[in-house]
Amino acid sequence: MSLYYEDVTTGSRHVTPEHEITTADIAAFCRLTRDFHPLHTDDAYARAQGFPGIIAHGLYGLALMEGLKTELRLYEESSIASLGWNEVRFVRPILAGDVVRVEMEFTAKRQSGSRPAGIITEAVRLLRGEEDLLISAEHISLIRLAP
């Protein structure tokens, strides 16, 4: 399935499959980004800071949100570019063992003034369990008009 600009309905929602966060995921993100802060690598240090153990990087959670959305294959043929993320809030820490999912809602759309494409806005939330909000953000994308 691929949504084109004309297919996007403001107010429609999508939910991704769940994903379990592992210590290996967190360690891989450390290696990839070269961010080895002890909150992400040292269980005793993280506990001394008031966390139940090591926590994932907030940016890992944000990147995972995009990856989980991609698994929905909403823009398989229609995506042109991400135009950015706004209002990103890291609400709660992400822990190894957390099972998370993304809920997204289309909140706005408009045609691009500079090219034959549309700009869509999504409210995106990373959730643990039923309603435990971990990250909230707004994502703006440029997508193709229907062929």
Domain containing residue 75: 5-144
pLDDT at 65: 97
Domains in the chain, number: 1
CATH number at residue 42: 3.10.129.10
pLDDT at 126: 98
pLDDT at 134: 98
Q: Taking the CB of residue 77, how many other CB atoms lie within 10 A of it?
A: 12
Exposed, middle or buried: residue 14 (CB in 10 Å: 0-12, 13-18, 19+)? middle
Exposed, middle or buried: residue 79 (CB in 10 Å: 0-12, 13-18, 19+)? middle
pLDDT at 79: 94
pLDDT at 108: 98
pLDDT at 101: 98
pLDDT beneath 70: ranges in the chain: none
Exposed, middle or buried: residue 65 (CB in 10 Å: 0-12, 13-18, 19+)? buried
pLDDT at 131: 85
pLDDT at 20: 97
